[in-house]
Amino acid sequence: MKKLGSVTGVLQTPVLLIALVLLAALVGVGGDVTVARVATLAIVSVVFVTGLSIFSGSSGVMSFGHVAFMAVGAYTTAYLTIPVNLKAALFTNLPGWLSWLVDAHASFLVALLVSGVAAAVLGVVTSPIVARLSGLQSGIATLALLLIVYNVLNSWTDVTRGSSSMIGIPRNTTIWLAFAVAAGSIAAAWAYRRSRSGLQLQASREDYWAAQASGIAVGRHRALSWILSAFVCGLAGSLYAGYLTSFNVNSFFLTATFAFIVMIVLGGYLSLSGAVIGALVVSGLQELLRRLQDGQFTGGSALPAGVADLILAAVLLLTLIKAPLGLMGVRELVLPRRRRRAAPDDDATEAVTPAAEAPTQAARGA
């Protein structure tokens, strides 16, 4: 039988996606300060949405809680990179058993990795939940995870500064570092998708019971993808903190969740290409809408606050109605080539049920 695609075929999609992100990085490098900022945050969004896609794309289960992993990554980076003397001033009421946080310090690259690991630890702790739940139940459970993490961060003032901003994080995220992490995340997401676990998880996405009947340990594969996806989203949080240098707990709540959902739904949540393209397109769109709202396209008269969000919500609604699986559906980005598989399924070669498709023969009972 024929070979199932050459190595270049297999690697085509991740290479093209990384090239797209590279393009965004080059735009950022070539543009003014605002463009550079938009491009960098767009690439951080690519990291996050790629992470989300590792779980949602293969399992078919949407998560509304992944921003919690991003928060864990951002706070971890804050604890590890804010200068020690500033930390001593910021955290005066740390409980004794956490006092080591004041003296903890690491280079940004170490902080980045530890942030991913910290998010993955939260992933490990919460994985039994996603392993057991499907559909609506799972969606609500992930939302509950977001609420729990948000409330802990918002209320545990002595440790997290509560609703006060986390400040003084050195700016370590460059556009090229963000690009490198995005490229690595895309490669990891693609490798997972094509792995044994990824294939079995995609089978369970198509039919849960048929997957069980094929011996597939659906829960185990869901948990594995959940943890890997948490790690990548933790990296996104670290990059975010290292770029903005200060953040507030409200950065990691419903507004961010909504924006990321728009990205992955618009692009197509079942497809890695959809996730990456959605992140880039919606990041660009958000910036255009911000400018529209500020009056840059309406002769300087600012539009009412909230117009940008309103339009973004409309885009989400339109996508859900017109193309529920987004721009990409389940397709992945490939180079254009001769039309694939235009020939219809050839009945003549079928040996098992040679007459199966004869349309004139009456079907036997119901």
Partner 1 sequence: MTDTAQLSRRPSVLRMADGGIHFDGVKAVDGVTLEVRSGEVLGLIGPNGSGKTSTLNLLSGMLRATSGRIHLDDDDLTRSSMRQRVQRGVVRTFQSGRVFGRLTVAENVEAAALGAGSRRGPARRLRDEILDELNLGAVADTRADSLTAGRIRTTAIARALAAKPRFLLLDEPAAGQNETEAVELITSIRGFARRRDCGVLLVEHDMSVVMGTCDRLHVLDSGRTVVEGEPATVRKDPRVIEIYFGKRH
Binding residues (CB under 8 A) for partner 1: these are: 1-2, 4-5, 196, 199-200, 202-203, 206-207, 209-217, 270, 330, 341, 345-347, 349-357, 361-365
Give φ, ψ of 18 to 5 degrees. Answer: -65, -35
Min separation Cβ 366 and partner 1, Å: 8
Closest contact distance (angstroms) between CB of 304 and partner 1 is 42
Q: Residue 365 Cβ, how far from partner 1 at the closest point, in Å?
A: 7
Q: CA 69, CA 109: separation in Å to the nearest integer?
A: 18
Q: Nearer Cβ to partner 1, position 197 or 257?
A: 197
Reduce the secondary structure of the chain to three states and give it as a string.
Answer: CCCCCCHHHHHHHHHHHHHHHHHHHHHHHHCCHHHHHHHHHHHHHHHHHHHHHHHHHHHCCCCCCCHHHHHHHHHHHHHHHCCHHHHHHHCCCCCHHHCHHHHCCCCHHHHHHHHHHHHHHHHHHHHHHHHHCCHHHHHHHHHHHHHHHHHHHHHCHHHHCCCCCECCCCCCCCHHHHHHHHHHHHHHHHHHHHCHHHHHHHHHHHCHHHHHHCCCCHHHHHHHHHHHHHHHHHHHHHHHHHHHCCECHHHHCHHHHHHHHHHHHHHCCCCHHHHHHHHHHHHHHHHHHHHHHHCCCCCCCCCCCCHHHHHHHHHHHHHHHHCCCCCCCCCCCCCCCCCCCCCCCCHHHCCCCCCCCCCCCCCCCC
Q: In terms of CB distance, is 6 or 93 closer to partner 1?
A: 6
Minimum distance of partner 1 from residue 198's CB (angstroms) = 10
| 192 vs 187: CA distance, rounded Å | 9
CB 131 within 8 A of CB 219: yes
In the complex, least distance from residue 345 CB atom to partner 1, rounded to whole angstroms: 5
Q: How far is the CB of 200 from partner 1 (least distance, A)?
A: 5
**Closer residue to partner 1 in complex, CB, 301/361:** 361
Distances (CA, A) of 49 to 46, 197, 230, 242, 298: 5, 20, 11, 18, 32
Q: What is the closest distance, in whole angstroms, from the C-beta atom of residue 327 to partner 1 in the complex?
A: 16
Name the residue nearer to partner 1 (CB basis): 86 or 199: 199
Within 10 Å of residue 187's Cβ, how many Cβ atoms? 16
Which residues, in sequence order, are CB contacts of 141 under 8 Å at separation 6+? 65, 129, 130, 133
| CB closer to partner 1, 18 vs 228 | 228
CB of 358 to partner 1, least distance (A): 8
**Closer residue to partner 1 (CB): 34 or 214:** 214
**Nearer to partner 1 among residue 8 and residue 361 (C-beta):** 361
Whose Cβ is closer to partner 1: residue 300's or residue 365's?
A: 365
Q: Find the shortest distance in angstroms from Cβ 363 to partner 1.
A: 5
| Least spacing, CB of residue 186 vs partner 1, in Å | 21
Residue (210 or 320) nearer to partner 1, CB: 210
**Whose Cβ is closer to partner 1: residue 57's or residue 234's?**
57
